[in-house]
Amino acid sequence: MEKFKGENVTLIAGSTWKPDEELLAAFINNNSNVKYIIAPHEVAPANINRIQELLKKRAICFSKADISDIDTYDVLIIDSIGILSSLYQYGNIAYIGGGFGVGIHNILEAATFKLPVLFGPNYLKFKEAVDLVNEKGAFPIQNFSELEALLNRLLNDKKSLQKASEICKKYIENNVGSTKIIINKVFNKKE
Mean pLDDT of the chain: 95
Give the span between the Cα atoms of 133 and 140, in whole angstroms: 7
Please state the rounded mean pLDDT for residues 161-184: 85
pLDDT(112) > 90:
yes
Residue 113's pLDDT band, with cuts at 50, 70 and 90, is very high
- Between CA 105 and CA 113 the distance in angstroms is 16
pLDDT attached to residue 114: 97
From the list 151, 162, 133, 134, the residue with the least C-alpha distance to 12 is 151
Q: Which residues pair with 12 in a beta bridge?
A: 37, 94
Question: What is the pLDDT at residue 190?
Answer: 65
* Interval 23-38: pLDDT, tens: 999 999 999 999 999 9
pLDDT value, residue 189:
67
Please determine, for residue 191, whether its predicted confidence score (pLDDT) is greater than 60. Answer: no
Q: What is the CATH number of domain 2-186?
A: 3.40.50.2000
Residue 65, pLDDT score: 97
Is pTM beyond 0.85? Reply is yes
Structural contact between residues 97 and 117, judged by C-beta atoms closer than 8 angstroms: no
Mean pLDDT, rounded, for 131-156: 98
- Whether 179 shows a pLDDT value over 70: the answer reads no
Give CA angle at 72 (44, 40), nearest 5°.
20
Q: What is the pLDDT of residues 42-75, one digit of tens each?
A: 999 999 999 999 999 999 999 999 999 999 999 9
Alpha carbons 164 and 41: distance in angstroms, whole number: 25
Per-residue pLDDT, 178: 61
Neighbours of 47 (CB within 10 A): 18
